Structure 1
């Protein structure tokens, strides 16, 4: 998914080319024209042989081959290697190969390796984003001294996507903690510690969308307009990559549900609650809407699923409450009772992924009259 502007190489016999500008100073000598005045004699042979020197700078472009690998993976037994070391740059063409050390625990986990590679390619650790203060509040006294730099803000970083608590680059709330107390608290959601943060299963959709905007997009005015937070599959593609819950050429359709799911679209225009139930091993996608300038309120009355910490999409139940559907929604696993959340707009998508016949979810919903006033979406990244 890398554009022709840059090259990522992992195969031993592969290579990539970079256009390099080479400039040289070229000089030429020409005989100097003698100025003969009236009644003046020639100054002799010495003046005849005098020449002038003219120089020009000529530039050409040469293809410079870079041999693989530019990332060199090496095994290291040191269990203290910090997984979130940020060496990021959106410039992929490096002249020196980078040695990426992988310890035993990380080597067993593909998500850990993927995170290291994405951080090297320039993905900013979520809690170091310049817009982080809207989402998290730090407990500075709970951060070990050796980790404080890894919690410092990166004010000039290129973000491209909105803040996602389930990004593979989001720290656990115990990362670099002095004790059993979390290093930060979440401001925009009422959730348990590490209920949704610190996942290293795989990159979130927003991480892959970041990769496209950072390294693949060449034309910011490209004609293909993806809906619901999708992005083009490649340059000049007529199809979009769609976030969880959506499908279609431009992500304009709700992803098809399995048989025996509830109705795929529901509408509420009343503060009176309605409810539905999902049971068993199946995948269901449900879009709930309300009138313009209102919001949808969703409450999980009862949830029975496999416990997983942190909980990620497709683990059990996901409620997409943000305006930006590219972001991972609020993911719930295990046994829950009476968990409510209000969407940021008049649309929300609920995705139920039951892994066994014992799984179930009972959900109620209604309309809320007032509009959302949060500042999460004030930044324009793309």
Structure 2
């Protein structure tokens, strides 16, 4: 790989072996200590974020929260397009490979501040979602779970963003690669904030875990790319190989421990959403029976009249099982009290099972049913978003003898 043509090529030292001279031409980083020191100083200055980084991080989080609210893939892409250059993430990679603890901590603080603004933007979208009865979170759900396709896009975006950051004349390509990196880092974090506020299952803390693992993975990918460009720890710059190993090891521990946590607690892993099915109605199957012979009529004495017990009916309630099945969305809210003003208890996707309790009431011109989930929480749901699979409660007769009188 050659240096940019707009910059003068460094003169080759004829005293170097041929293999060393070929390696010097391939590397982006200078081969001498003084030139590499100057290059590192320029990189540190370029990788220090400005106030624009914070502003556009918040805008990206806000647009992602809006995309989760309206379930629009186009708005998710727009959020990635408005994301700022993730220079602090590249700074983490640079600090890791050169072993600078001070620059690593400074880049980490900048990264966490930007992440907090993205999270807050998604949470504001969740507050807006609480004003509606049902929300569809299928597309947001996809961003809060691990996927090999997402990891491939992360590796491509992180590697190219790091590479083009080193090259001063590749700014246009840098912005394109940064979109892929922001798509995989900022969108899961924002939908985690959305899920924390709305209580949507599968978004919190899944999205936060995905962000942590992908952030550590992107730092490791950046370290690999920087190593191939020729950057390495240098003792006379104050950086040691041991410090570099510790910083890189920390990133690896975060990445692999996050994946193991997801596997152990079954969070951030894609699961199939069950679709509601109606249970078949039982039917009676006739059986063949032998007809006994007609008995011979014989005279028998008329018995004394006896009292026949009166049959009374004692109703026994059978729990009615239902499933969430909203027509205008992928799920609906369970509220603490009937009506749209009731406090939010949970957000359930279509297919989530529920048990109907006997209470029902009318609020805001709608019929609300009292429900209970299999894991124990209770609340009120619109009748129109539920389908039932069991019959209407039946009455079991009990025989109570009536005393003679």
Instruction: Give the TM-score, by structure 2 length.
Output: 0.25
Hey, which of these two has a bigger chunk of helix by percent? Answer: 2
Greater RCO, 1 or 2 (C-alpha within 8 Å, sep 6+): 2
Larger CA Rg, structure 1 vs 2: 2
Hey, which of these two has a bigger chunk of strand by percent? Answer: 1
Instruction: Give the TM-score, by structure 1 length.
Output: 0.26
